[in-house]
Homo-oligomer: A and B are copies of this chain.
């Protein structure tokens, strides 16, 4: 790529090389430091973060990336713990990351809390990282995505990205993983109402948790309703029919079947060529999402736009001008030197 366009002090480059080596050797301390660098809000750290990522990229990409979402109370932590332990028992190294836009407000994270998944957190082959702080979903998501690459370079071969599903966070998580799993509660008919706009269509599997005891018949009924509903939506791929599965994370039932399903999915996608295709498309889309987010910020903070926007917005709201005319006037102002 030749020389980057911003200054890269030798001081930083030297340090980041050592850090990259530590990450590649799977050292937890190096991985934690690398993630801290990626997450830094200090723009002086950006060149070092970029150098680190570019050095580690060739070692990344080897994990199965799994997105998991579901409403609070669906049993996400219990499921991820049971699922993660199943995977480490099979010899996998598992990283659990989170995209939690609510951490913008709380400052802390309601996800990735190690006390939620005590046993998994103690497992030497598991790595749990709380959601990064950030002022925008795009910022939080970039950090999570780059942390995922660092974990892959450190040898984790399964990366789980979980989200609570606030706002657009499920769509964002789906855009960075290979497989998206939607956890649902058992229930039927009106009780089921509540899948968020667009979320059913990004799921690669629906998993009905808590399908145990008295819940079992309701879970079975819910499953058949989901199967019917999924039939109404055009399939994302000709090579994958989205299944509705049952499990009881609490009793450890149906956990192995989830991993089997994910492996079947991967096999089907690799055979059809869609696996690599999707990753390449995701990377391209990601670049454009970031460019557009940043362009919008540039536009909003342009002094000429700032001066005009309130009265044009008001004129549109009050029906004095059309959105099309207002947009053209704002752009005229932005382009004026």
A residues whose Cβ falls under 8 Å from a Cβ of B:
1, 4-6, 46, 50, 53-54, 57-58, 60-61, 142, 145-146, 149, 189-190, 192-198, 200-201, 225-226, 228-229, 231-236, 280, 283-284, 286-288, 290-292, 294-296, 298-299, 311-313, 315-317, 319-335
Contacts and interface: CB of A to CB of B under 8 A. Distances in A.
A315 B319 CA distance: 46
A208 to B, nearest CB: 12
Given A1-B311, A5-B329, A145-B323, 5 more contacts: A54-B321, A228-B229, A287-B312, A295-B331, A298-B331
Tally of this chain's copies: 2
A142 B335 CA distance: 21
Contacts of A226: 232
A1 B316 CA distance: 11
A4 B329 contact: yes
Contact of A1 (B234, B299, B315): B315
B325 A50 contact: yes
Dominant secondary structure at the A interface: helix
A328 to B, nearest CB: 7
Nearest to A2: B311
Contacts of A288: 327
Nearest to A319: B57
A233 B193 contact: yes
Contacts of A335: 298
Nearest to A234: B194
B233 A50 contact: no
B291 A322 contact: no
A292 B292 contact: yes
A201 B198 CA distance: 7
Contacts of A201: 197-198
Contacts of A190: 231
B322 A146 contact: yes
A311 B192 CA distance: 48
A294 B228 contact: no
Nearest to A229: B229
A146 B324 contact: yes
A51 to B, nearest CB: 9
A323 B284 contact: yes
A225 B226 CA distance: 11
B329 A234 contact: no
Given A294-B331, A322-B146, A233 B287 contact: no
Contacts of A280: 317
B284 A5 contact: no
Given A296-B292, A315-B1, A328-B46, A57 B321 contact: yes
A313 B197 CA distance: 31
Contacts of A235: 193
A116 to B, nearest CB: 26
B316 A287 contact: yes
A292 B295 CA distance: 8
Contact of A189 (B231, B311, B317, B332): B231
